[in-house]
Amino acid sequence: MSGSPSSFPNAVRQTPPRSVLVVVTRRLGDVLLATPLIRSIRRAWPEVAIDVLVFDGTQGVITASPDIRRIHVVPERPGLLRHLVFALRLARRYDVALSLVPGDRPTFYAFLAGRWRAGLLLDTAKQRWKRRFLNRWVPFDDLNTHTVRMHLSLAGVLGIVAHSEVVVSWRTEDEHQVDQLLVSDQPQRLVVLHTYPKFNYKMWRREGWAEVAHWFAAHGHRVVLTGGGATAELDYVAKLARDMPPGTVNAAGRLTLGASACLVSRARIYVGPDTVMTHVAAALGVPTVALFGPSNPVKWGPWPHMHLADANPWRRCGSQRGGNVTLLQGALSCVPCLLEGCGRNIASFSDCLQQLPAARVIAAIE
């Protein structure tokens, strides 16, 4: 780590900052796993205005957060002029700016926005030039530190107490959406299956999902399928729904992210791959079965409810249990390879997941 916690300005320590910008321009899971740091800032400085800068399409996971004043949204690939105009609007608007992603753009955004800046950076000669844009930087560990703990390293830089709770929130209208979806006169023992990750290399096979769903139905549960509104996802879940037991609810594309989180909170059990909804289920304390293939659990395993920040919850290899989460890995010797599928691209599939037997998933549920 560059410098020491005492390098955070003494004046700021004595008089809390009025405004903080958290830059987390990456995917949905990264944004959700930034909420422990945001909650830590809120608890340390209750009156501070906390804004967050994210890519368009990822804001839904924090829209209802009680800790955040404003969400700035930027396209993932803006044109040069739009990028410059947006960046200049940030110029020195914040007392503190924090970059949670070790890329060029988030570091630059933090540099422009904050009168005092800190962030995560790769500790390599090639990346050394970025250090001049930050008052403090923390070496980014992409292998051996969980994303929650990596983000919380900036709490140490700020000299505040780290709180490890992943914050999941929704609005009253989200609850109404769920009530309308699940209208029934009968008591419901809900299970949620989230079957579609963003990338093929994280995907389990259709036959496995069908077998697990029928097992749940035979044991008195009502199955709900969740999913987003992208065309490919809707098509996948619709086809899968044809093989589901009677009474299965297909909620794909029908709920906001907040409403999906509210739905998951009512489930007896959740099963899903390496995707943001699996992180949501884990954070809510719902019994969760997470299906992992090539991804590194040390970095990306779902953060269990009430897990403390002093240690990673997961080992790199092997199926394991932590708190309310059971993490199942494929049994091949190459797992986890950390690659994007056996074809080495995000459109390819992973043999370790395709060969994962439904019997193992059912055993984890039992």
Torsion sign, CA atoms 142, 145, 149, 152: negative
Read off the tokens for 127. 């990346």
Beta-sheet strand order (sheet of 94-99) = 70-74, 49-55, 19-23, 94-99, 114-121, 136-139
β-strand pairing of 249-250 with 269-273: unpaired
Q: Please check whether the two domains, 5-158 and 172-365, share a CATH topology.
A: yes
List phi, psi (to 5°) of 52. Answer: -130, 140
pLDDT for position 187: 59
Residue 5's pLDDT band, with cuts at 50, 70 and 90, is very low
DSSP structure string for 264-278: HHT-SEEEEESSHHH
Residue 111 φ/ψ region, left for φ over 0, alpha for ψ in the -120 to 50 degree band, beta for the rest: alpha
pLDDT at 12 over 70: no
Task: Give the mean pLDDT of 22-47.
Answer: 98
Span 329-334, mean pLDDT? 90
Are 139 and 122 spatial neighbours (Cβ–Cβ below 8 Å)?
A: yes
- pLDDT computed for residue 86 by the predictor: 83
Tell me the Cα Rg of the chain. Answer: 21
Q: Which residue would you say has higher pLDDT here, 79 or 182? A: 182
Pairing relation of β-strands 325-329 and 320-322? antiparallel
pLDDT greater at residue 9 or residue 57: 57
Residue 14: what pLDDT?
66
Which strand ranges, in their side-by-side order, compose the sheet holding 288-292?
A: 249-250, 222-226, 190-194, 269-273, 288-292, 325-329, 320-322
DSSP β-bridge partners for residue 49: 19
Q: Where are the alpha helices (DSSP H) in 225-315?
A: 231-241, 257-265, 276-284, 297-300
Instruction: Please give the Cα distance from 292 to 353 (Å, whole number).
Output: 7
93-137 tens-digit pLDDT: 999 999 999 999 999 999 999 999 999 999 999 989 999 999 999
Q: Taking the domains of the chain in order of start, what are their residue ranges?
A: 5-158, 172-365
- pLDDT, average across residues 293-307: 97
In the predicted structure, residue 185 carries a pLDDT above the cut 60: no
Residue 3 has what pLDDT? 43
Q: Mind listing the pLDDT tens digit for each residue in 57-94? A: 999 999 999 999 999 999 998 888 887 888 888 888 99
pLDDT grade, residue 11 (50/70/90)? Answer: very low
pLDDT digits (tens, 9 = 90+) for 342-361: 999 888 999 999 999 999 99
d(CA 243, CA 246): 9
* Bond from prior residue into 336 cis (ω within 30 degrees of 0): yes
Average pLDDT value for residue range 285-313 = 97
Write the CA distances from 127 to 22, 103, 104, 108, integer angstroms.
21, 9, 9, 13
CA angle (205, 211, 215) in 5-degree steps? 145
Rounded Cα distance between 151 and 37, Å, is 6
- Select the more confidently predicted residue: 14 or 365: 365
Q: What percent of the chain has pLDDT over 90?
A: 86
3-state DSSP assignment of residue 51:
strand
User: 87-91, 141-145, 179-183, 291-295: which range is least confident on average?
Assistant: 87-91
Please give the DSSP secondary-structure letter assigned to residue 226: E
- Residue identified by tokens 């037991």 is 245
CA 110 to CA 99: how far, in whole Å? Answer: 6
- Return the CATH fold of 5-158: Rossmann fold (3.40.50)
Provide the token pair at 187.
């008591």
Among the residues of the chain, which ranges form H helices? 10-14, 28-32, 35-44, 80-89, 104-113, 147-158, 172-181, 206-218, 231-241, 257-265, 276-284, 297-300, 351-354, 358-365
- What band does 1 get if pLDDT is binned at 50, 70 and 90? very low
- CA-to-CA dists, residue 49 to 153, 160, 292, angstroms: 21, 16, 37
Q: Which tens digit of pLDDT belongs to each residue from 211-249?
A: 999 999 999 999 999 999 999 999 999 999 999 999 999
- The CATH fold assigned to 172-365 is Rossmann fold (3.40.50)
CA–CA dist 172, 158 (Å, integer): 34
Which pair of structure tokens corresponds to residue 163? 């709180």
Residue 335: band (very low, low, confident or very high) from pLDDT cuts 50, 70, 90: very high
